[in-house]
Structure 1
Amino acid sequence: MEKTISLKEALAIVDAVDEKGRPLLFDITFRTLQRNSKTGGKLYTYNQVVKYRKLKSDNPNYLKQVQTQVKRHRNPNHFANRTRNLELQNGDIKTVHIRLIITVNGLKVIY
C-alpha cells in the first residue's frame, strides 16, 4: 500500500527551509492542466528541486538599482492563485498549481 500525506503536509515539505533559511531539496510529481479544453496535460516528475525564492542582492547599490528599474512585474499572488514556483536543477523556474500535485518525496498527496 502506498503511503499518503495530506496537501497541507505536502506544502510543509515544499515550503521547508533549513536553519540558515535556505530551501530544502525534494522530489515532486504533478500534472499540468489545459484550462481551455479542460483536460489533463502532461505528467511531470522532477527530482531534487527547491522552492524558488528571489533573494535580495548583496550589492550595496541594490536600492538604487531597484528604484531606477522601469519594468514592473505583476505580483504572482501565490497564496490566492494556489501556486508555487519551483527551481529545477538546471536553474529553470516552473510554476505548479498545488491542487495538481500527485506526489512529494514519493508520498501520494490526498486532498
Structure 2
Amino acid sequence: MITEEDLAQQFATIVEHTHPSAWEVIRHCYVKVINPQFTYLHPTYFHKRYVSIYCPEKLMAAVLTQKNLLREVAQYLGLIEVVCLNATNLVRDPMSQLKRTHPQLWLDLLWILSTKHEN
C-alpha cells in the first residue's frame, strides 16, 4: 500500500512537471496527505485520503487560484479533495494545541514560514 508520504511526494512531483505555474506557488508550502480515521463511528471505518496544503498567509490567495488544477491532480492520484490551510494562523494561534499534539508538523510549518519566497 502506498503511504501518505509517498502520495504527497507523487502529488508534488506531478504538479512540478505538469503545471509549473502551480508548482511555483505550492513549492513554498507544506503538502501533506491526510487519511482520516474515525474510530468513534466504526473501528474499521476509513474515509478517503485528501491533500492538505499548509500555506504561508501571503501565498494563500495564489494557492487558492490554482485549487481546481490541484484538485485534478489529487483526483488523478485517487485523493478526494485539496484543502488549503493558513500555516501562519496555525502557528501563531495562542490557543492552538498543534505544538503539543503534532510537534513535527508544527516544526515543518515554522520552517516554511521562515523561508524566503516570492509571490
State the TM bucket, normalised to the shorter chain.
under 0.3
TM-score by length of structure 1 reads 0.28
Structure with a larger share of its residues in strand: 1
Structure with a larger share of its residues in helix: 2
Larger Rg: 1
Higher RCO by CA contacts (8 Å cutoff, separation 6 or greater): 1
TM-score by length of structure 2 reads 0.26
